[in-house]
Amino acid sequence: MLHPSYTDLMKTINAEGEGDTPVVNSRYSIVLATAKRARQLIAGEDAYVDTRNKKALSVAVEEVNKGFVTIEPEKNNEDADAVAEENTVE
């Protein structure tokens, strides 16, 4: 089991965000962000924390928890709809 817990990570990430709107609302967002960072580490990116005897996912979780890696808020759904409309062929 990974430590810290998902709820602790959500509190940490949302505390760093600006405004009253939370940056992440679900575990899924944290899973995606840490998995993406773990893939970057596996591809050769430098880690921001001590990596001795740790797997890439553990390092990614630690980086997120310590604030070295941030999660950007999701874009507005209207923006996504506008992009989808631009790409449709009539």
Q: What domains can you pick out in the chain, each with its CATH number?
A: 6-87 (3.90.940.10)
User: With bands split at pLDDT 50, 70 and 90, how would you rate the model's confidence at 39?
Assistant: very high
What is the predicted pLDDT for the residue at 67? 84
pLDDT for 3-18, tens place per residue?
788 788 888 877 876 7
Cα end-to-end distance, the chain, whole Å? 50
Would the pTM of this model clear 0.85, i.e. be above it? no
Distance CA 52, CA 37 (A): 17
Amino acid at site 61: V
pLDDT at 60 > cutoff 70: yes
29-30-32-38 Cα dihedral, nearest 10 degrees: 160
Given a cut of 70, whether residue 74 has pLDDT beyond it is no
- For the segment 16-38, what is each residue's pLDDT rounded down to a tens digit? 767 677 777 778 888 888 899 99
